[in-house]
Amino acid sequence: MAATPATNPSQLLPLELVDKCIGSRIHIVMKNDKEIVGTLLGFDDFVSILYTNGRRITKLDQILLNGNNITMLIPGGEGPEV
Amino acid sequence: LWEKKKKESIFDLSKYIDKQIRVKFQGGREASGVLKGFDPLLNLVLDSTIEYLRDPDDQFKLTEDTRQLGLVVCRGTSVVLICPQDGMEAIPNPFIQQQDG
């Protein structure tokens, strides 16, 4: 079994899933206890995330979120009930 | 020379595809789900994901509470441990001194 990163193409690549989520709601869970829900506008190689209509308890119009603290990305998620 | 080895992984995750795995993150979060995909940077796709919630007073203590997250992408930069879900068991605390009488 080769140890190279040529993984089986029938599996789901993580960044492909994030890419499919562009234009939809996404719920982002940070390393600490912060979470953000919004509409995903885009992301880069380091998974910095550009959002609109972010809900972080306070409403934000657009936000460029630094990818350093992102732990999980949940497509279509609405986050916990507020 | 290590420089020539490029991005070879020391650990092959493909044997865990479609299996239930447990993942621990920097910052103390823990989750468990079915591995659907991954990349060489250790970003993961987990399905039917459950997050294990921690005690609000003691961030290092797990509670019985969980929440369902569904299909989730886990950032590889945040992952600190991956193991099969049935590859671990809780044991009694080995650090507690035995009390006499």
At residue B101, the pLDDT reads 47
Residue B91 maps to a domain:
no
Range of the domain at B43: 15-83
At residue A6, the pLDDT reads 41
The partner residue sitting opposite A74, judged by closest CB among B29, B38, B70, is B70
Q: What share of chain A is helix, strand, coil (3-state, %, to 5)?
A: 10, 45, 45
Residue B28: closest CA among A73, A36, A31:
A31
Among the residue ranges A40-54, A62-76, B10-24, B37-51, the one predicted with the least confidence is A40-54
Q: Is B92 on the interface with A (CB under 8 A)?
A: no
Residue B100 maps to a domain:
no
Question: How many Cα atoms occupy the beta-carbon half-sphere of A46 within 13 Å?
Answer: 7
d(CA B33, CA B21): 6
Residue B66 maps to a domain:
yes
pTM, two decimal places: 0.74
User: Domain with B22 in it: what CATH number?
Assistant: 2.30.30.100
Q: What ipTM, to 2 d.p.?
A: 0.72
Number of domains in chain B: 1
Residue B26 maps to a domain:
yes
At residue A3, the pLDDT reads 35
d(CA B48, CA B66): 12
Residue B95 maps to a domain:
no
Residue B88 maps to a domain:
no
Find the closest chain B residue to A18 by CA distance. Answer: B73
